[in-house]
Chain A
Amino acid sequence: MPTVRLRAAAEYPPAAQKLFELSSSWFNHDFAEPPAMSRVMAWDIEFGGPHGRAMKRAMAPGEFTRGEKEMVAASVSGINACEY
């Protein structure tokens, strides 16, 4: 069970709604509620905004494809024993 109460998207201010739209677009998936991590990052836009931009910059296709980078990300998460 999460340490914090994850707020529904409707409980967030307009600035965060923009971030949720970007999240849905990034995953190309229509979530009933934004993913938990998106809602966590939207809690403080001044942290979540640049953190998300750094992630998107790192994950954008370049010398490696987005798919290859997703695989690296999944492996890093697995090594860190992160179930999420």
Chain B
Amino acid sequence: MTGDAVWYEAAQVVGITHALNVATDALGALGMVEEADAPPETRALFAEICAFYESPEVPPAFRLIAHDPGYAADVWAAARRGYADNRLSRRFKEALAFAVSLTTRSATGTAFHLGEMRRLGVGPRGIMEIVGVTQMFSSYTKIADTLQLEPDMGDIAPGDPTPAPGGPTR
């Protein structure tokens, strides 16, 4: 996990997962867009989302924000980019999204990403590995915060001197 690129990818997963969980967990009052009543561009969007997840069901977050098709399409484009195989595998990104959902106590996100982990081949042992890491570091962080510990391990990994993608070398 050396180099900054993988950490940028991880941050994208953390951010977009939280954004989708916020909608799923708290936006129910808005009502979900029904595919049968949706305009053609929304149906096309839903079809793309279903293909990505290999599921006949559109995740609720997208049905809740599809009242604005343009906005939903942009959120989906970011989500698809964030979750797709890149330097980090989609399988690992789902594990990360599961940890994010568990940490933020999103029951819907936890269930969704647990299902995705299983679909992508993570077994019971792998699931418990992520549960263990999430739980243990939830403990460490609260102990550190309670005692107001100051960071003291920031210099054990070297910095990444490479430029941003496409940028000039320093």
Contacts and interface: CB of A to CB of B under 8 A. Distances in A.
Contacts of B92: 64, 68
Given A36-B152, A68-B92, A84-B149, A59 B144 contact: no
B30 interface: no
A4 B145 CA distance: 12
Contacts of A51: 136, 139
B130 interface: yes
A84 B144 contact: yes
A84 B143 CA distance: 10
Interface residues of A, number: 37
Interface string B109-142: 0000000000000110110011011111111111
A51 B140 CA distance: 9
A33 B150 CA distance: 14
A80 B129 contact: no
B103 A76 contact: yes
Contacts, number: 124
Given A75-B10, A75-B96, A62 B129 contact: yes
Contacts of B6: 71
A37 to B, nearest CB: 6
B98 to A, nearest CB: 9
B100 interface: yes
Interface in B1-54: 1, 6-7, 10, 14, 18
A3 B146 CA distance: 8
Given A2-B149, A3-B147, A84-B150, A64 B126 contact: yes
Contacts of A69: 129-130, 133
Interface of B: 1, 6-7, 10, 14, 18, 92, 95-96, 99-100, 103-104, 122-123, 125-126, 129-130, 132-153, 156
